[in-house]
């Protein structure tokens, strides 16, 4: 199975290949800059393990793990 954003550990960087799913959630993630080719970095997990915080396009974004799971990485 391909690696997704959910598998990224804090401090690790990776490139986005694809955003899976459809509808509002996928659209929102793409609108926020998660598009193929973009590089992102896992910043941290929340104290309870979910959601996660990533750094992308020069800003900080938090995503639930169920959302992060649909971001396929290189």
Specify the DSSP class assigned to residue 61: E
Here's the x/- map for another protein, 40-69, by CB under 8 A: it reads as ----xxxxxxxx-x-x-xxxxxxxx--x--
Distance in angstroms (rounded) separating the CA atoms of residues 16 and 60: 16
To the nearest 10°, the Cα dihedral for 9, 36, 38, 60?
-60
Q: Of 1 and 59, which CB lies nearer to another protein in the complex structure? A: 59
State yes or no: residue 20 binds another protein (CB under 8 A).
Answer: no
Q: Which two tokens stand for residue 67?
A: 């959302």
* Residue ranges in contact with another protein by CB under 8 A: 19, 23-25, 27-33, 35-38, 44-51, 53, 55, 57-64, 67
């Amino acid at each position: 199975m391909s690696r997704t954003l959910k598998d990224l550990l804090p401090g690790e960087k990776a490139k986005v290949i694809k955003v899976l799913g459809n509808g509002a959630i996928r659209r929102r993630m793409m609108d926020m800059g998660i598009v193929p080719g973009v590089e992102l970095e896992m910043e941290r997990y929340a104290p309870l393990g979910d959601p996660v915080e990533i750094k992308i396009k020069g800003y900080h974004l938090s995503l639930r793990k169920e959302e992060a799971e649909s971001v396929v990485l290189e």
